[in-house]
Amino acid sequence: MKIALVQLNYHIGNFNTNTERIISHINKAKTEGAHLVVFSELAVCGYYPHDLLERKEFIDNTLKAVDEIVNATSDIAVVIGAPTVNTSNRGKRLYNSALFINNQKIEKTIHKTLLPTYDIFDEYRHFEPNKSFDVVEFMGKKLAVTVCEDLWDKQPTNNSFAQSELYITSPLEELNKLNPDLIINIAASPFSFDQEGTRKSTLVRNAVEYSLPLVYVNQVGAQTEVIFDGGSMFINHAGEVMHEMAYFKEDFRIVDIDVSQEQETQASQSAIAKINDALVLGIKDYFNKMGFKTATLGLSGGIDSAVVAVLAVQALGSENVHVLLMPSKYSSGHSITDAVELAENLGIKYETVDIQSIVDSFEHALSPLFEGLEADVTEENIQARARGVLVMALSNKFGNILLNTSNKSECAVGYGTLYGDMNGGLSVLGDVYKTDVFNLARYMNREKEVIPENIIVKPPSAELRPDQKDSDSLPDYDILDDVLYRYIEQNQSTEEIISAGFNAETVRRAAHMVNINEYKRFQTPPILRISSKAFGFGRKMPLVAKYNG
């Protein structure tokens, strides 16, 4: 049996384009002799539509698109993901389904059993879980068709409080009772920098445990903050990955599950290389799918804005990036020259607007109110907000989308100014710790110096007061980021982190800063997710909680 694995980048709600591309790949599979074509989870409408699933016209449009796809399946079979309607009077209105279409007829509809409702997932909000199991019979074989999470009934976890077995039911245990010959899993499995190994080991475990070959088709592309990295694959019954498709780009592959073949796998990449590729894809798809073309950001001469500028050029092209240098009296001379050198290295348009007279006018206007009071963070924030006004003006006037440059370390501890440096349409580094921002810069310079060396080696500074350094207000990033990772990603308590050898005062202070700055993060732009626990949809905390655990 020849099976075409089709790994595409879908656009939520763009039924015409999604359907055209699905049908064109069905025709391609026919031409190349495939018997069965496999697409990913919710491919027809795009993953994840959220509350669009509650709109009747959205479901009607999905079903019309399914009809078009069915009509295109003469002399070939297709497995594809789509929401389907629950016709009973009980339960949620929809199922998350895999349709088995054969020669212009939907022969079987398989519903997803395990509906993830954790981290960024909220599928039980919209879908009814499957409660019955059956295989698909095709070309003399029994196919165990599953949808994404249905293979994840056992999950590795780095959180000591979490359970590794989240679900009561194991879909494959039930399907295995029907003696299948092949597992097919259609997925929308998002990227995180440590996910590839976990995902692959989960798929291999299932193939070995049930001694069955496994076809896995993921999607690729970004849907706002969630990035899908592809990596579809065919695994034989012994758990060997025989065919592995591309990461971070579309791909098409035909595998013959009955014929022994040489392995075709992807070269391994470092975590930093994958993060770079994921962020580029996240920027590119955010702009393309929203109909935007050009980007702007404030280029300070610091490492965060430098890395974002490089990523923006990789995603959009140098001709579509327009940056603004906004020095004040506290800006060092090398910050300005470093920013100019970077802009010229990248070939991007840059302009300079000195903010000092603007800041002076604010301070003059406020002087009667502040008379007799010492300068403090208020005056620092005025500078950040003056810069925020200027880059937003550039965005409004020229239609450029402002890219936010704050990193995860800063977002975590509230080291940023609302309505100033926290402005933006998309947060590029909001899930990248500061130490990894430095690693990204080194990776970007692996072949030639794109980011001036001085930007990488100088001590980080917001340059909002004389001789200011980040280390004046924060622990060294090597220490801070380790503490934050344990507290945020691993959900360790302060006492657990302290018992691992960290300074008690540093840990408690860091945790306190994370907790009291939830209100700031609530107002940030969407953050491109590259870790297992990003701020935003994936980490929901009450704003008014009194908690310092």
Q: State the average pLDDT for the chain.
A: 94
Quick: pLDDT tens for 338-369. Answer: 999 999 999 999 999 999 999 999 999 999 99
Q: Average pLDDT of 1-8? A: 98
Whether the CB-CB separation of 166 and 124 falls below 8 Å is answered with: no
Q: Average pLDDT of 397-420? A: 96
pLDDT at residue 513 is higher than 90: yes
- How far is the C-alpha of 197 from the C-alpha of 179, rounded, in Å? 29
pLDDT confidence band for 436 (50 / 70 / 90): very high
Quick: pLDDT tens for 264-297. Answer: 999 999 999 999 999 999 999 999 999 999 999 9
- How far is the C-alpha of 514 from the C-alpha of 429, rounded, in Å? 17
Would you state the pLDDT for residue 164? 64
Least confident of 95-104, 356-365, 535-544: 535-544
Quick: pLDDT tens for 59-89. Answer: 999 999 999 999 999 999 999 999 999 999 8
pTM: 0.95
Q: What is the largest CA-CA distance in the chain?
A: 88
Q: Average pLDDT of 83-105? A: 96
More confident residue, 24 or 541: 24
Q: Average pLDDT of 186-215? A: 94
Residue 41 annotated in active site: yes
pLDDT at residue 404 is higher than 80: yes
Give, in order, the Cα–Cα distances in Å from 302 to each of 172, 176, 397, 437, 461.
Answer: 51, 56, 26, 11, 7
Domains of the chain in sequence order:
2-260 (3.60.110.10), 274-470 (3.40.50.620)
pLDDT confidence band for 92 (50 / 70 / 90): very high
pLDDT at residue 167 is higher than 90: no
Quick: pLDDT tens for 106-163. Answer: 999 999 999 999 999 999 999 999 999 999 999 999 999 999 999 998 766 666 555 6
- The percent of residues in the chain predicted with pLDDT above 70, rounded, is 97
Would you state the pLDDT for residue 426? 98
Which of these is catalytic: 112, 284, 408, 520? 112
pLDDT at residue 316 is higher than 70: yes
Whether the CB-CB separation of 225 and 527 falls below 8 Å is answered with: yes
Give, in order, the Cα–Cα distances in Å from 329 to each of 336, 359, 469.
Answer: 12, 10, 16
Which of these is catalytic: 108, 123, 128, 148? 148
Residue 45 annotated in active site: no
Using CB atoms within 10 Å of the CB of residue 341, give its burial: 0 to 12 exposed, 13 to 18 middle, 19+ buried: middle
pLDDT confidence band for 34 (50 / 70 / 90): very high
Q: Average pLDDT of 46-52? A: 97
Q: Which of 461, 518, 508 is nearest to 483 (CA)?
A: 508
Residue 293 annotated in active site: no
- How far is the C-alpha of 109 from the C-alpha of 347, rounded, in Å? 53
Which of these is catalytic: 41, 196, 225, 489? 41
The strand pair at 182-186 and 233-235 is best described as: unpaired
